[in-house]
Amino acid sequence: MAFALPVWLAVQEELLGHDECCAAPSSLDHFDDDALFQMFHLTRPCIAFITDAVRIRMKNVALKKPALSVDAAVMVALNYYAHGVSSAEVLQRVGPNQADSLAVICTLSEVIAGMADQFISFPLLREAKTNVAAKIRKVCGIPYALGVLAPAHFKIRASPYEKETFRSFVNTLGYTSVVSQIICDSDGNILSVEKCCVGSTFEQEMWDSSFKGKEMEEELHGPYWIIGGKGYHLSKHVLTPVSEPANDGEARFNEAHAKIHNVMRTMLGSMKRRFRCLMQLGFAQECSLDKKANIIKACSVLHNIAKKFSVPPPPVAGKIEPLHPGKQHSVPVPINPEALHARRELIRCHFSIAATRKDPPSKAIMGEDA
């Protein structure tokens, strides 16, 4: 998240015009603040901001009959995201029946997902990279990291009678899912979301074929790490834990790695509590992966907006699902010697007994030639 909330508001006001920007959607006036949060898991100012942002994007989008106002369509979509179903109270208030609401949700998901270029931002400028890396180091002690990388699994229903299709959706924890690749910062803001693949997909395959993976490995983001779990290969730009720690420094490094990696687990738990549609994304054959990808990306956009407005998620109900342990290849993958040396240098300089914060940064750590 590169911009502070006042900047967002200023840009929004410029785009909408001063008169439109401050007008709250009339449909919201029928509900008090507590009812709004119960139905949408968002606050009134946050919903008004989302509605105005969608209105900009909706100028060239036609909703299917019966036509709805933008604020009514947003309410239908937000209510579905919050609960995984459309509540009778919202549908009665704004008009569409259950069948029409599905078309509205599909359209709004595509529109909100298209807002990712505004509300999901990977650090690009030097100052932004420095700030993100400094916050991560403050949390766990690992320097030169631009984010935390993990596969995000979302449950779906798949028919066990269609054996081949069913198998492709079964993930490492044994249930059927689709999986996306997410990068977040130390505060739980989403910096990147890509892909929507069947649950059995290898994390490394997603990373290798993703835009962000190619950018990082081609040195387009400079000498920085992304912190990834055991399902990824150690590389010059993906920092994984040590599989079998041989000394105290490596053990301390693994503890630090686990600490920052847990930020992703907490973030995904928070997002799934706020947007319960992500707890069950329907049937494998119900719609294409692209449509499921739109819902996942739309919820990611809304997650970042909710954080900017400091909207708390609903209370925890049960345990937060653990991060997936990663799908391991049956044949061991050779470790990149340069990457292994860089990780050892990082551990020596920052996690060994002799390490001090005054030590100069190693060029090997920074991915530079000595």
Give one word for 276, left, alpha or beta, with left for phi > 0 and alpha for psi -120 to 50.
alpha
Judge whether residue 32 has pLDDT over 80.
yes
Please, how many CA atoms are within 13 Å of residue 224, restricted to the half-sphere of its CB? 28
CA distance 23 to 25: 6
* Helical segments of the chain, H only: 5-16, 18-21, 33-40, 44-57, 70-83, 88-94, 98-113, 116-119, 126-140, 163-169, 203-209, 211-217, 248-274, 289-308, 337-350
Q: State both tokens at 6.
A: 């006042």
Encode pLDDT of 113-136 as tens digits.
Answer: 999 999 999 999 999 999 999 999
Q: State both tokens at 334.
A: 């050779």
Encode pLDDT of 285-317 as tens digits.
Answer: 655 788 999 999 999 999 999 999 999 999 876
* Residue of higher predicted confidence among 237 and 333: 237
Judge whether residue 169 has pLDDT over 60.
yes
CA distance 179 to 37: 28
CA distance 32 to 34: 6
Strand order in the sheet with 225-227: 190-198, 177-184, 145-155, 225-227, 238-239
CA distances from 37 to 41, 48, 285, 310 (A): 4, 13, 32, 13
CB 296 within 8 A of CB 193: yes
Judge whether residue 283 has pLDDT over 70.
yes
> ∠ at Cα 116 (111, 119), nearest 5°?
120
CA distance 251 to 47: 45
Q: In 3-state terms, what secondary structure has residue 180?
A: strand
Give one word for 324, left, alpha or beta, with left for phi > 0 and alpha for psi -120 to 50.
beta
CB 55 within 8 A of CB 70: yes
Judge whether residue 67 has pLDDT over 70.
no
CA distance 295 to 298: 5
- Neighbour tally for 162: CB within 10 Å: 13
Query: Is the N-terminal amide bond of 332 cis, ω within 30° of 0?
Result: no
pLDDT at res. 365: 43
Confidence of residue 352 (pLDDT cuts 50, 70, 90): confident
Judge whether residue 54 has pLDDT over 90.
yes
**What does the DSSP assignment read for 50-70?**
HHHHHHHHGGG-PPPSSP--H
Encode pLDDT of 180-231 as tens digits.
Answer: 999 999 999 999 999 999 999 999 999 999 999 999 999 999 999 999 999 9
Q: Are strands 177-184 and 190-198 parallel, antiparallel or unpaired?
A: antiparallel
Q: What is the pTM of this model?
A: 0.87
